[in-house]
Amino acid sequence: MRRLPPVAQLTVCSLSLVVTGGILMASYVPRQPPLAVPAALTAVSAVLALASGFLLSRLEQFAWPRFFLAFRWALLAYVISAGMIGFAFVRDHTRGAPLALVIVMLVIYALDVPLVIAFTVARYSSPPYASS
């Protein structure tokens, strides 16, 4: 079996961190949450997502057309999902730095999920599973 870089594992770790940060933020609503820990989790999550994207970009003999097909449809779905979550925070009067942090978390979330879906779909359409 062909060994691929740990794109899915890194992305799921990134997603876990951003979900944890989101839970920390949400647990303080309607008060102003302390931002240090959620910001640190978000930063590490962003680094993992970037590392995942970097490793992915170096792949050769990969089913890129299938990756992008899955990625763009999943992205559409998760942008809507992230938009709804963001709407709930805005509706609940989250403003300033907490809102900015929530938006960064939602951007990571909306990229992580399509990335892991598209990577999983494309890896099984790439050699040795397919000759594309």
Partner 1 sequence: MRTGVDMAGVGDVQAGTVEGASGPQRWRVEVVPLRGLPVVAAVVAFVIASIAGNWLWALTFCHVAGGALWTAVDLFVGLIVGPILGRLPAAARAEFTARFMPKMVLLMPTLVLMTLAAGFQLALKEGNLAPGNPNHAWLIASYCVVGVMAVIALGVLEPANITVLVEMRKQRPDGQVIAALMRRFIYTAGITGLMQVATLIIMTRVATQ
* Binding interface with partner 1 (CB under 8 A): 8, 11-12, 15-16, 19-20, 22-23, 26-27, 29-31, 66, 70, 73-74, 77, 80-81, 84-85, 87-88, 91-92, 112-113, 116-117, 119-121, 124-125, 129
Paired tokens of 53: 């994207």
Residue 89 CB neighbours (<10 A): 20
- At which residue do the structure tokens 């709930």 appear? 88
For residue 110, which of 84, 81, 87, 73 has the smallest C-alpha distance?
A: 81
Tally the C-alpha atoms within 13 A of residue 108's C-alpha that lie toward its C-beta. Answer: 31
Paired tokens of 96: 């300033």
Pick between residue 5 and residue 20 the one whose CB is nearest to partner 1: 20
How far is residue 37 from each of residues 12, 21, 24, 81, 122, measured CA to CA in Å?
19, 7, 8, 24, 35
CA–CA gap between residue 29 and residue 76 (Å, rounded) = 28
